[in-house]
Structure 1
Amino acid sequence: MDNGNIPGTGLAEKKLQIPNADLLDECRRLLDSGQTVLITAKGGSMFPFIKDGDRVIVCKTGKLEEGDIVLGQTGGHRFVLHRIIGTTERNCRKVYVLMGDANLKKTEECEENDIAGKVVGIMRNGRTIAADSPAEKFKGHVWMCLRPVRRILLKLSGYRQH
């Protein structure tokens, strides 16, 4: 285990390698107890806003809205870090519809109690981006509106699906 401080955040860091399923269960437990967690993003489903290897700061929040990036548990034991693109209702329960920013069609659904936390910061190249700032929310909203032309934009950016 490697310990240290995360520059510019005031957060202490403890590094430990464990299987993803166990890690995310522990993250959920920590979030439920009111703590903030730092997760290293894997994959490219949230490109261009979250890139493979970025670190995301996740906390528990009571209020979720369209455009928020959340850590949600879908279909059994699978966790995703995706953006809320809408809500629906099933059996008198609120259901969030999630989609990765680089995904063109695929969505997931999570009930309210399956949302472990909300991304409040994205750490990349020594700086932290406030994911819930008005500017980032606006960029996310514009990106969601560009869904019909994402394939072209992603191709022009050089993005390749993993």
Structure 2
Amino acid sequence: MAENSSDSKTRVISNEDYFAEVQRILREGKEVRIRIKGNSMLPFIKNGDMVLLRAYQGQSLALGSNILAKDKDKFVFHRFVGKKNNQYILAGDGNLVLREYVEATDIIAIAYTHYPQDKDKAVAINRPFPRLRGLGWYHIRLLRRIAAKLAR
């Protein structure tokens, strides 16, 4: 098939290239909608859902905010659950153990709107209730781990 045919094709690009473009758009002052890949934000954000991001510009972060950050050499979309020694602690909602510790300079964007693929309406996720619900879910991780072990 010809390289420039009008058939729709899926292109695969590296995470580095993808997020470089996301960051470029954010630096221009624009919002960016990205598709979430993976299950680390279950049960609230599912694989394939989309979120609307706005650039992080050093403003105070509300606990429970969903943020895009760079942790070492990988990009993560996780919840801000605390701060320790001037580092921001991030955790995926679906994660029972792991946390990331990032600097303010590693934070790229804050998510404001969630577009679930199985619903027609967008959900404002940077409001008090969704943030508190996510924090509550984070703080019962021990109970969730116990329940997961008992379910085996």
TM-score by length of structure 1 reads 0.76
Aligned-residue Cα RMSD (Å) equals 2.3
1:10-39 per-position Cα deviation (integer Å, ceiling 9, x unaligned): xxxxx9753222111111222222211111
Q: Show the counterpart of 1:117.
A: 109
Matches within 5 A, 1:2-151: 18-61=13-56, 62-75=59-72, 77-89=73-85, 94-124=86-116, 125-151=119-145
Is the radius of gyration larger for structure 1 or structure 2?
A: 2
* Letter of the 1:47 counterpart: L
| Corresponding pairs, count | 138
CA–CA distance in structure 2, aligned partners of residues 127 and 153 of structure 1: 32
Q: Taking structure 2 as the reference length, what is the TM-score of the superposition?
A: 0.81
Give me the identity figure in percent: 35
SS, match of residue 104 in structure 1: coil
| 2:74 aligned partner, one-letter code | R
* Superposition deviation, residue 151 in structure 1: 3.2
How much has 1:65 moved relative to structure 2? 2.5
1:35 and 1:153 map into 2 onto residues whose CA distance is 42
**Residue ranges of structure 1 left out of the alignment (5+ in a row):** 1-14, 157-162
Q: Which has the higher strand share?
A: 1
